[in-house]
Amino acid sequence: MIANIPETRKVIEIKAPGGPEMLVAGTRPVPEPKSGEVLIRIAGAGVNRADCLQRMGRYPLPPGAPEIPGLECSGTILKIGERVREWKVGDKVCALMTGDGYSEYAAAPAEQCLRVPAAVDLVDAGGLPETFATVWSNVFDRMRLGAGETFLVQGGTSGIGVTAIELAKAFGARVLATAGSDEKCRACLDFGADRAINYKTQDFVEVGKEFTNGRGVDAILDMVGGDYIARELDLLAREGRLCFVALMHGSRVEADFGLIERKHLTVTGSTLRPRPLAEKAAIMRSLLERVWPLWEEGRLRTFTYRRFPLEEAAEAHRLMESSRHIGKIILVP
Ligand SMILES: NC(=O)c1ccc[n+]([C@@H]2O[C@H](COP(=O)([O-])OP(=O)(O)OC[C@H]3O[C@@H](n4cnc5c(N)ncnc54)[C@H](OP(=O)(O)O)[C@@H]3O)[C@@H](O)[C@H]2O)c1
pLDDT tens digits, one per residue of 300-313:
999 999 999 999 99
pLDDT digits 0-9 by tens, 38-66: 999 999 999 999 999 999 999 989 888 99
pLDDT value at residue 60: 87
**All structural domains of the chain with their residue ranges:** 8-128+275-332, 132-269
Would you place residue 1 in the very low, low, confident or very high pLDDT band (cuts 50, 70, 90)? Answer: low
Q: Which atom of ligand 1 is nearest to the CA of 270?
A: 1
Does 191 score more than 60 pLDDT? yes
Sort strands 72-80 and 92-96 into parallel, antiparallel or unpaired.
Answer: antiparallel
Residue 4's pLDDT band (boundaries 50, 70, 90)?
confident
Q: Whole-number mean pLDDT of the chain?
A: 97
Q: Is 163 in the pocket of ligand 1 (CB under 6 A)?
A: no
In the predicted model, is pLDDT for residue 332 greater than 90? yes
Say if residues 149 and 139 touch (Cβ distance below 8 Å): no
- The number of the ligand 1 atom at minimal distance from the alpha carbon of 137 is 3
CATH classification code of 8-128+275-332: 3.90.180.10
Residue with CA at minimum distance from ligand 1 atom 18: 158
Same fold, 8-128+275-332 and 132-269: no
Average pLDDT estimate for 89-110: 98
| CATH 3.40.50.720 for the 132-269 domain, yes or no | yes
* Residues 211 and 232: beta-carbon distance below 8 Å: no
- Contact criterion met (CB below 8 Å) for 286 and 112: no
Query: Whose Cα sits closest to atom 8 in ligand 1?
Result: 245
Residues of the chain with pLDDT > 70: what percent?
Answer: 99
pLDDT of residue 249: 96
Measured from the Cα of 324, ligand 1's closest atom is 39
Angle at 179 between CA 95 and CA 145, to 5 degrees: 60
Reported as a pLDDT band with limits 50, 70 and 90, residue 80 is: very high
**pLDDT greater than 70 at residue 141:** yes
Residue 139: DSSP 8-state: I
Mean of pLDDT values over 257-267: 98
Beta bridge partners of 109: 37
Residue 2 has what pLDDT? 59
